[in-house]
Amino acid sequence: MIRIIIYCICIISLLIVSCKNNAVKTDNTIPEQEKKLGDLVSQYPDSLVLKENLIQYFRDNSNFGQAIIETEKLIQKDTGNARWWDIKATLYFEKADTVNAIKAFEKAISFDAQPEYIMSLGSLYAQTKNPLALVMADGLLQAPKAKAEKQALFIKGLYYSYTGDNVKAISFFDNCLALDYTNTMAYREKGICLYNLAKYKEAIQTLEKAVALQSTFDEGYYWLGRCYEKLNQPKEAILNYQTALEIDHSYAEAKDALGRLGVR
């Protein structure tokens, strides 16, 4: 009988230790910075700055789902705040959820039609081939106080690029670059249009301007690689793909391109 009691005590003791260890492991799974930010938000529930810091923390760690959950909490308390909708839209965009990003930007504009919100929504409309992109661009052009002419021209170029009218798109990107020759995104989009038109050498000249302006422009190097590959210059293509991958180690398209060329 005594042996049985001792055995039971031992089992119970082991279970208690195991539970404690599991509790410790659970606590340790939460990164210190996340726990600290969460505690501060709990301690100062009215601090919007702390809540935005927590959202930014999740965003910086690519935890867009949790960042959206935290943003939704802010929206529930202040539905008409366009800034929260803008943040939510941006998070959805970075999560590659274009549909919900558009819905959130539309909400932001319904509460406060800031030019930057219109630019963002116009670009998404363009990428989804929605002709409302042209309406948004014209709205920016007709509002001189917005000082968004180059952004409006870029949106129009983007729309025509995505709808397959590369020649017309290039004219808008050229007009955009005439206003701002440092616009790397306009160079990229123009380069892609030239690529689509099989004008690979012209595309290379355009994309080289982009990477000259921004040496860390991974997409510029990637598209240079695409052009060189089409020109049957594998060494140059590989060099540019590798540069793109060095800048962004998670650049899946660059990895695939290198694999296609036999580089692992």
Cα angle 86-92-94, degrees, rounded to a multiple of 5 = 105
Rounded distance, CA 53 to CA 176, Å? 35
- Token duo for residue 245: 């991958």
* Of 226, 170, 163, the residue nearest 194 (C-alpha): 170
Give the tens place of pLDDT for each residue, 138-157.
999 998 888 899 999 999 99
The secondary element (H helix, E strand) that includes residue 216 is none
pLDDT of residue 40: 82
Q: Which long-range contacts (CB under 8 A, 24 or more apart) does 246-255 make?
A: 247/216, 247/217, 247/218, 247/221, 248/218, 251/218, 251/222, 253/222, 254/218, 254/222, 254/225
Q: Are 38 and 54 in contact (CB under 8 A)?
A: yes
- CA max distance for the chain: 94
CB 156 within 8 A of CB 137: yes
Q: Kindly indicate the confidence band of residue 183, based on its pLDDT and cuts at 50, 70 and 90.
A: very high
Confidence of residue 260 (pLDDT cuts 50, 70, 90): very high
State mean pLDDT over 222-228: 98
**By mean pLDDT, which of 37-46, 50-59, 225-234 is the weakest?**
37-46
The per-residue pLDDT for 235 is 96
> Residue 105 corresponds to which tokens in the numbers above?
């930007």
The conformation of residue 7, written as its DSSP 8-state character, comes to H
What pLDDT sits at residue 2?
A: 47
CA distance 197 to 170: 11
The mean of the pLDDT values for the chain is 88
Residue 30 has pLDDT above 60, yes or no: yes
Residue ranges and CATH numbers for the domains of the chain are 184-264 (1.25.40.10)
